[in-house]
């Protein structure tokens, strides 16, 4: 074989080897691409499942709990935490069901001070030399952290932290497309949940007094009291009506009448618990439901409210007084909500017929009452 033929054969062998190497690298690349596609498919599948659960959440607290649980289990995370600006629209929300490990309140401007408002997603690898100021000592096991800025970047309301013990899970060179989508989903759903809650609250709130309105009672009206307040719980009811309210409106005008209603509500709130439902039934009539309150205690509260209102400064040339009906349902009796309110209403009319500025106590038989100490005791 000539030297020229040998060179050609050697070149052919090297070319075939090169093609084989390129083919192997291509297969490895395709396999890696397919692995990433399948991983992304699983991620988005978990995300879509989480989104569907989030949309079913009924309030911000339930939504946060759903997100925390879904992110931990669906994405195999070792750490999930919200940092929320207490001055934002989230600050007034009741989120008592979330632990300090789940949610940390931060002060106004802290997100901007940390520089997190400059972009939507931050990825960082953690070590003993490099940490993150908002983490606790018990978070030192984390190897990497993703920080998702929530809300409008000009005025973010919070940050969602996702952590892993794997230092490469959220390495800075990783793509953030998926996390950016997640940040937008979480931010928007929380904003919408708060807006829905606010609208729902407005729908059942009396704008003048801040108490509940009649719509608040509608889902409960025909339920047994135990279904609303729990079993083994007696419930008292006060039915409050302002005496000669029409005369006050006629003589002094509706603004003075509104002031009287607001004053009566303020007095009632001083003697009941914040969680006790206070409902404006319409006009100058109010209902207070007192779960877990004894009959004797309810009478004592009624007497104090009557006396306190009568002791308020005179409105124009008119004094203000109220008539109160008191009714009680024992845990054994367990009346329907409406039945208890009706009993208290009947007792209120007895108090009004006896001259007002007093309370009367409903008897167990419909229409019967026994006298309380009224406003003079």
Contact 97, 65 (CB under 8 A): yes
Contact 286, 217 (CB under 8 A): no
pLDDT tops 50 at residue 366: no
| Mean pLDDT of the 42-69 span | 71
The percent of residues above 90 in pLDDT, for the chain, comes to 52
> Residue written as tokens 């729902």?
200
**Domains 57-201 and 214-371 are alike in CATH topology:** no
Fold of 57-201: Beta-Lactamase (3.30.450)
CATH number belonging to domain 214-371: 3.30.70.270
Q: Where does residue 172 rank: exposed (0-12), middle (13-18), buried (19+ CB within 10 A)?
A: exposed
pLDDT band of 258, cuts 50, 70, 90: very high
> What per-residue confidence (pLDDT) applies to 367?
47
Contact 126, 162 (CB under 8 A): no
To the nearest 10°, report the CA torsion of 156, 145, 79, 90: 0
> What per-residue confidence (pLDDT) applies to 231?
87
Q: Which of 96, 104, 105 is nearest to 61 (CA)?
A: 96
Euclidean distance between CA atoms 41 and 36, whole angstroms: 8
* pLDDT tens by residue, 13-27: 677 777 777 777 767
Contact 105, 168 (CB under 8 A): no
Euclidean distance between CA atoms 12 and 34, whole angstroms: 32
DSSP strands (E only) in the chain: 79-85, 103-106, 121-125, 144-150, 158-164, 235-242, 278-282, 285-291, 322-329, 358-362, 369-371
How many CB atoms within 10 Å of residue 234?
Answer: 20
| Mean pLDDT of the 63-75 span | 83
* pLDDT tens by residue, 327-339: 999 989 999 999 9
pLDDT tops 80 at residue 98: yes
- Exposed e or buried b per residue across 142-166, where buried means at least 16 C-beta atoms within 10 angstroms of its C-beta: bbbbbbbbbbeeeebbbbbbbbbee
Contact 361, 298 (CB under 8 A): no
Q: Kindly report the average pLDDT of the chain as a whole number.
A: 85
Q: Which of 239, 224, 220, 219 is nearest to 333 (CA)?
A: 224
* pLDDT tens by residue, 188-209: 888 888 888 888 888 888 989 9
SS (H, E, C) 271-316: HCCCCCCEEEEECCEEEEEEECCCHHHHHHHHHHHHHHHHCCCCEC
Question: Is the CA virtual torsion 175, 177, 178, 179 positive or negative?
Answer: positive
Q: Where exactly are the structural domains of the chain?
A: 57-201, 214-371
Tokens standing for residue 270: 């001083």
* pLDDT tens by residue, 271-313: 999 899 999 999 999 999 999 999 999 999 999 999 999 988 7
Look at 375 and 347; give whichever has higher pLDDT: 347
To the nearest 10°, report the CA torsion of 92, 95, 100, 101: -120
pLDDT tops 90 at residue 165: yes
> What per-residue confidence (pLDDT) applies to 313?
79
Q: Compute CA distances 286 → 175, 311, 318, 345, 349, whole Å.
A: 59, 19, 21, 10, 13
Task: Read off φ and ψ for residue 20, nearest 5 degrees.
Answer: -65, -40
């Amino acid at each position: 074989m000539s030297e020229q033929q040998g060179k050609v054969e050697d070149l052919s062998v090297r070319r075939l080897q090169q093609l084989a190497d390129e083919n192997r690298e291509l297969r490895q690349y395709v396999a890696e691409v397919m692995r990433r596609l399948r991983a992304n498919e699983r991620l988005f599948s978990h995300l879509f499942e989480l989104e569907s659960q989030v949309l079913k959440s009924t309030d911000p607290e339930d939504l946060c709990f759903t997100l925390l649980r879904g992110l931990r289990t669906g994405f195999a995370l070792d750490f999930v935490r919200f940092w929320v600006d207490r001055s934002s629209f989230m600050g007034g929300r009741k989120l008592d069901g979330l632990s300090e490990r789940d949610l940390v309140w931060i002060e106004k401007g802290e997100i901007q001070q940390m520089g997190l408002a400059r972009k939507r997603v931050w990825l960082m690898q953690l070590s003993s030399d490099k940490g993150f100021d908002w983490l606790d000592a018990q978070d030192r096991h984390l190897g990497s952290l993703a920080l998702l800025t929530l809300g409008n970047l000009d005025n973010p309301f919070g940050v969602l932290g996702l952590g892993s013990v794997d230092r490469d899970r959220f390495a800075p060179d990783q793509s953030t497309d998926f996390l950016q989508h997640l940040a937008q989903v979480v931010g928007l759903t929380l904003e919408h949940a708060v807006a829905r809650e606010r609208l729902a609250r407005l729908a059942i709130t009396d704008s003048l007094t801040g108490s509940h309105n009649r719509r608040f009672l509608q889902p409960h009206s025909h339920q047994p009291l135990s279904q609303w307040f729990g079993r083994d719980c007696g419930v008292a009811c006060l039915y409050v009506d302002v005496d000669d309210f029409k005369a006050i409106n006629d003589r002094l005008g509706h603004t003075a009448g509104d002031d009287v209603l607001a004053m009566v509500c303020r007095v009632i709130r001083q003697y009941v618990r914040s969680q006790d439902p206070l409902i404006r039934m319409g006009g100058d009539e109010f209902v207070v439901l007192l779960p877990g309150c004894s009959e004797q205690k309810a009478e004592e509260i009624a007497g104090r409210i009557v006396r306190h209102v009568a002791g308020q400064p005179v409105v124009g040339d008119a004094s203000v007084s109220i008539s109160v009906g008191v009714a009680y349902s024992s845990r054994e009796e367990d009346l329907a909500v409406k039945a208890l309110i009706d009993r208290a209403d009947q007792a209120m009319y007895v108090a009004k017929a006896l001259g007002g500025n007093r309370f009367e106590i409903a008897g167990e038989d419909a229409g019967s009452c026994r006298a309380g100490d009224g406003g003079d005791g």
